Amino acid sequence: MRFTKKFLALLFALLLALCAVSCGERPGQNDPGTPPGDTTAELPERDRLPMRGYEELELETEELNEAYVDSPFYSDLDDALTYTANALWERFGTGGDGSKVLSTVYGFNSSWLYWDCAKTMWTSDPNANRSGVKNIVRDWAITDEGYPWSWGDSETWGGKDYNTGDPTYERVYHYDTCFNFVNAVYEIMAWENSDAFLSEVDQDRRDEAGMYSDVSLGMTVREKLEAILDYILEDLNGKNGLIIIDNGLNTGELGSASSNYWDNLCFGYKDPYEGALFLGALQSAAGIYRMAGEEDTAAEYEALFDTAKEMYQETYFDAEKGRYVSTISESGRVHDYGLTFLNTEALFYGAGDAETAEQIFSWIDGRRIVEGDTVTGLDILDTWNFAPMANTVAIESIKETVEGERRPVTWWHGPSGINVFSSAKFKEHCENGGAIFYTAYFELMARLKYGMTDSAVQRMLAIVEEYEYDGLIRDPGGSLGDPWVLGVIGEFPESGLVPVAYLKGFMGVNATYRGLEIDPNIPEEFGMMGCDRVLYAGQTLDICIEKGNSVKIVCTASEPVTLPLVFSDFKGVDSYTVQVTSGGETQTVTPVRGSDGFYAAEVTFSGASEIVIA
């Protein structure tokens, strides 16, 4: 009977397609409800994953650890999702699980500047190395032009000794470092609830050998920040709202240089990856200046953000494919390789809107087919499961023959013999059909930003499955034995971002210039989610959110402290009270509702205290 129904459904779909062809129409041409790029009437659906208790985990490579049940993250379910988030935090967030699978938990890669701060500034966990992360940001080298170095010991990418054995290699400059520095400074200031970091002084000169320019020794963080912002606005065209890298090397053409963390891809010229980070940096700059009490300057950056957001959408969003393109080169050529990470990070940093997000995730989830992609449907997520496939169009599928070159050129920057036609062919390299784990963080956060809580839970449960298999300690070689098919362990400490989505995404706890913001996205399976060791404004907090009921914050302060709290209408009611119990006495604070619908209140307490928002 099941076969008969399936046969009839296929026959009916075939008849409809034949009818559309005979009428001279594309499928969906006259259907306003058909998403862009949709060429399939019915697509397979992904099986739903169940929420399980942690004791139901079937770990293949390690024993259950009771310490991972309820710290730092906890819930009312004692569930496998929370357990896995804690295990991944210990493994990749702090490196404290003893596995030593990371070569470092933070470091001197310019791409890590913001990621390390986003990973560690929220916690009082001593293994998180907050002070070390802060010092790297404070002491980051910049040139006299205001360009922050691409690497800890080098202006150019990879370090001063990178690829020195190849006489044909031309050193490249990366530009994500500019925006990552601004975002890192704001992340530090917001969680400290202070602008004191701006006054800290660079204490480390990096150009002792005279190879590069480092003028930052003795400069304050603020002086460096303003030099970098000026570089972004002037040298990278930021003042006009659209980042353009116009240096003759990062042209975005086939065979050109890389310009960011994704160092095998030829981002450049009109560069949407740098452009996405620019959107984040503009919001960060506005927040920094608001915290410094400079409202007019903050307003200027907010106005520029509005302009940049509009230009980003107009320039990079392909309405037919329903996603952001990969680059527009110096010659005006539009490249699109279906970069999933670019699209999710763009949403995270402020590009697009709810409609854009729906189109992007309908493609990534496999609910919509983009014609011409190498990989479509459920395989975009299911190939690696722990994160989306990096790109859905094989890099080597678009190539050109260039006179004097041994092989065709592609949108691939391949130092050290990383060959996109052999060792790095599609699905054999993390930047060409492989996957890097950190991207799951931005995927989760983007889903939650636009209310896709259920799909975010399902994606996190997929990560639970992968953790069951091997603890996500994996670094498989390709068919030729080469590394970097996946980016999870080793030189990928950014993997530690993923479990932080529990706090910043599902619980919706973030620090901004307004205060400690709470905007919960508690999944329907949970009645409560919580996190301990949250470090905000120098105070260690235990935050517990009961879905649709209350937020409870427990803290012990050695002296009187005032905390600014900002929260959404998480109960759907007209009014809230904030009760502060401290030293046996209870005071009630009435929060003020802003025009954005969020409530704000300042609470003062000392000693063992409990704050309840209800």
- Give ∠ CA 569-574-578 in degrees, rounded to 5: 70
Burial of 124 (0-12, 13-18, 19+ CB in 10 A): middle
Kindly state the average pLDDT of the residues 359-382: 98
How far is residue 476's CA from residue 483's CA, in Å, rounded to a whole number? 7
Q: Is the pLDDT of residue 31 over 90?
A: no
Task: Tell me 376's DSSP state.
Answer: -
In a shared domain, residues 471 and 530: no
How far is residue 341's CA from residue 179's CA, in Å, rounded to a whole number? 17
Q: Is the pLDDT of residue 22 over 50?
A: no
Whether the Cβ atoms of residue 430 and residue 484 lie closer than 8 Å to each other: yes
Residue length of the chain: 614
In a shared domain, residues 431 and 489: yes
For the chain, give the longest Cα–Cα distance. Answer: 82
pLDDT at 208: 59
Q: Is the pLDDT of residue 12 over 80?
A: no
Domain boundary among 506, 525, 552: 506
Q: Is the pLDDT of residue 166 over 60?
A: yes
Q: How far is CA 361 from the centre of its chain?
A: 15
Tens-place pLDDT, residues 473-532 = 999 999 999 999 999 999 999 999 999 999 999 999 999 999 999 999 999 999 999 999
Residue 554 domain-assigned? yes
Q: Record the tokens describing residue 215, joined without a space.
A: 């003028």
User: How many independent structural domains does the chain possess?
Assistant: 3
Whether the Cβ atoms of residue 285 and residue 301 lie closer than 8 Å to each other: yes
Mean residue pLDDT across the chain: 92
In a shared domain, residues 66 and 30: no
Q: Is the pLDDT of residue 124 over 50?
A: yes
- Buried-state track 186-206, b at ≥16 Cβ within 10 A, e below 16: bbbbbbbbebebbebebeeeb
Tens-place pLDDT, residues 575-610 = 999 999 998 899 999 999 999 999 999 999 999 999
How far is residue 405's CA from residue 419's CA, in Å, rounded to a whole number? 13
- Give ∠ CA 488-262-353 in degrees, rounded to 5: 95
Choice among 8-22, 133-147, 219-233, 240-254 with the minimum mean pLDDT: 8-22
> What DSSP letter does each residue of 128-192 carry, written as one string?
G-HHHHHHHHHT--B-TTSPBPSBTTBSSTT-TTTTTT-TT------SHHHHHHHHHHHHHHHHH
pLDDT at 180: 98
Residue 94 domain-assigned? yes
Kindly state the average pLDDT of the residues 159-171: 76
In a shared domain, residues 401 and 492: yes
Task: Tell me 537's DSSP state.
Answer: T
How far is residue 125's CA from residue 561's CA, in Å, rounded to a whole number? 21
How far is residue 41's CA from residue 19's CA, in Å, rounded to a whole number? 13
Among 413, 491, 493, smallest CA distance to 163 is for: 413
Return the C-alpha torsion angle 90, 95, 101, 105, nearest 10.
Answer: 130
Among 264, 275, 261, smallest CA distance to 177 is for: 261
Whether the Cβ atoms of residue 233 and residue 239 lie closer than 8 Å to each other: yes
Kindly state the average pLDDT of the residues 53-75: 97
3-state secondary structure at position 595: coil
Q: Nearest 5°: phi and psi at 189?
A: -60, -45
How far is residue 385's CA from residue 432's CA, in Å, rounded to a whole number? 16
What confidence tier does 36 reach under pLDDT thresholds 50, 70, 90? low
Residue 8 domain-assigned? yes
pLDDT at 236: 98
Tell me how crowded residue 81 is: count the other CB atoms within 10 A of its CB: 25
Residue 185 domain-assigned? no
What confidence tier does 169 reach under pLDDT thresholds 50, 70, 90? confident
In a shared domain, residues 545 and 474: no
Q: Record the tokens describing residue 246, joined without a space.
A: 């116009």
pLDDT at 42: 74
Q: Tokens 């120098």 appear where?
A: 538
pLDDT at 43: 83
Cis peptide before 36, with omega less than 30 degrees from 0? no
Residue 276 CB contacts under 8 Å (≥ 6 apart), including other chains? 312, 342, 345, 346, 349, 351
Q: How far is CA 567 from the centre of its chain?
A: 23
3-state secondary structure at position 589: strand
Residue 63 domain-assigned? yes
Task: Dump strand ranges (E) for 430-484.
Answer: 435-436
pLDDT at 399: 96
pLDDT at 2: 31
Domain boundary among 506, 531, 552: 506
How far is residue 22's CA from residue 381's CA, in Å, rounded to a whole number? 35
How far is residue 273's CA from residue 335's CA, in Å, rounded to a whole number? 13
In a shared domain, residues 498 and 548: no
In a shared domain, residues 481 and 540: no
pTM above 0.85, yes or no: yes
How far is residue 605's CA from residue 250's CA, in Å, rounded to a whole number? 53
Domain boundary among 506, 539, 557: 506
Burial of 144 (0-12, 13-18, 19+ CB in 10 A): exposed
Residue 493 CB contacts under 8 Å (≥ 6 apart), including other chains? 92, 95, 102, 103, 104, 105, 106, 107, 112, 116, 119
Q: Nearest 5°: phi and psi at 487?
A: -120, 95
Whether the Cβ atoms of residue 114 and residue 134 lie closer than 8 Å to each other: no
Whether the Cβ atoms of residue 411 and residue 398 lie closer than 8 Å to each other: yes
Tens-place pLDDT, residues 545-556 = 999 999 999 999
pLDDT at 353: 98
Per cent of the chain over pLDDT 70 is 92
Pick the more confident residue, 572 or 170: 572
pLDDT at 37: 53
Find residue 593's DSSP bridge partners. 599
How far is residue 595's CA from residue 397's CA, in Å, rounded to a whole number? 50
Q: Is the pLDDT of residue 26 over 50?
A: no
Q: Is the pLDDT of residue 213 over 90?
A: no
In a shared domain, residues 30 and 51: no
Q: Record the tokens describing residue 384, joined without a space.
A: 């690696």
Q: Is the pLDDT of residue 23 over 80?
A: no
In a shared domain, residues 395 and 464: yes
Residue 448 domain-assigned? yes
pLDDT at 11: 35
In a shared domain, residues 90 and 22: no
pLDDT at 209: 57
Among 521, 508, 539, 518, smallest CA distance to 601 is for: 518
Element containing residue 32 per DSSP (H, E): none
What confidence tier does 303 reach under pLDDT thresholds 50, 70, 90? very high
Element containing residue 599 per DSSP (H, E): strand 599-613
Residue 272 domain-assigned? no
In a shared domain, residues 473 and 543: no
Per cent of the chain over pLDDT 90 is 85
In a shared domain, residues 535 and 582: yes
How far is residue 332's CA from residue 316's CA, in Å, rounded to a whole number? 12
First to last CA, the chain: 54
What one-letter code names the amino acid at 334?
A: V
pLDDT at 212: 83
Q: Count how many Cα atoms sit within 13 Å of the Cα of residue 137 in the half-sphere of its side chain.
A: 36
How far is residue 425's CA from residue 534's CA, in Å, rounded to a whole number? 43
How far is residue 232's CA from residue 216's CA, in Å, rounded to a whole number? 17
Pick the more confident residue, 322 or 22: 322
Give the domain range for residue 559.
515-613
Among 202, 266, 281, smallest CA distance to 236 is for: 281
Q: Is the pLDDT of residue 15 over 50?
A: no
